[in-house]
Amino acid sequence: MAAPYPPAGNQSSHTERPLKIYAEQYVVGQPLPIGATTETLNPVYADGRPHVILPHGIVMELHETDWVISNRYTGAPQEVISAAEFAERFGPSE
């Protein structure tokens, strides 16, 4: 959706500061990222596969090298993205 031009009402242009996030990569054999679980309560993950329960009840399975992105203020997980998407959005991991 295109921005209104010229701005409507009292709108004015503002530049958003760069987004700061907390991110943790899932690697088999290392501790699970914050927000990840292997609980078997969900029948889909009864075999104990690692997954993240996101806001609104969305469940994302973790695959090797996936990143768990968390809210920088609350620490709650917000999304799970692949290593390729992480590199595209945030640059190479350190």
Query: Could you state, in order of their start, the residue ranges of all structural domains in the chain?
Result: 22-90
Report how far residue 20's alpha carbon sits from residue 41's, in angstroms, rounded to the nearest whole number.
Answer: 33
Mean pLDDT of 64-91: 91
Give yes or no for residue 78 having a pLDDT over 90. yes
- At 82, which amino acid appears? S
User: Given the structure tokens 């290593």, which residue do they identify?
Assistant: 83
Checking if the pLDDT of 92 tops 90, the result is no
What's the pLDDT score for residue 72? 84
- The reported pLDDT for the residue numbered 93 is 67
- pLDDT for residue 18: 72
- Report yes or no on whether pTM surpasses 0.85: no
Instruction: Find where tokens 């054999």 sit.
Output: 29
Q: 11-63, pLDDT tens digit by residue?
A: 666 666 677 788 999 999 999 999 999 998 888 889 999 999 998 889 999 99
For the chain, the straight-line distance linking the first and the last C-alpha, in angstroms and rounded, comes to: 35
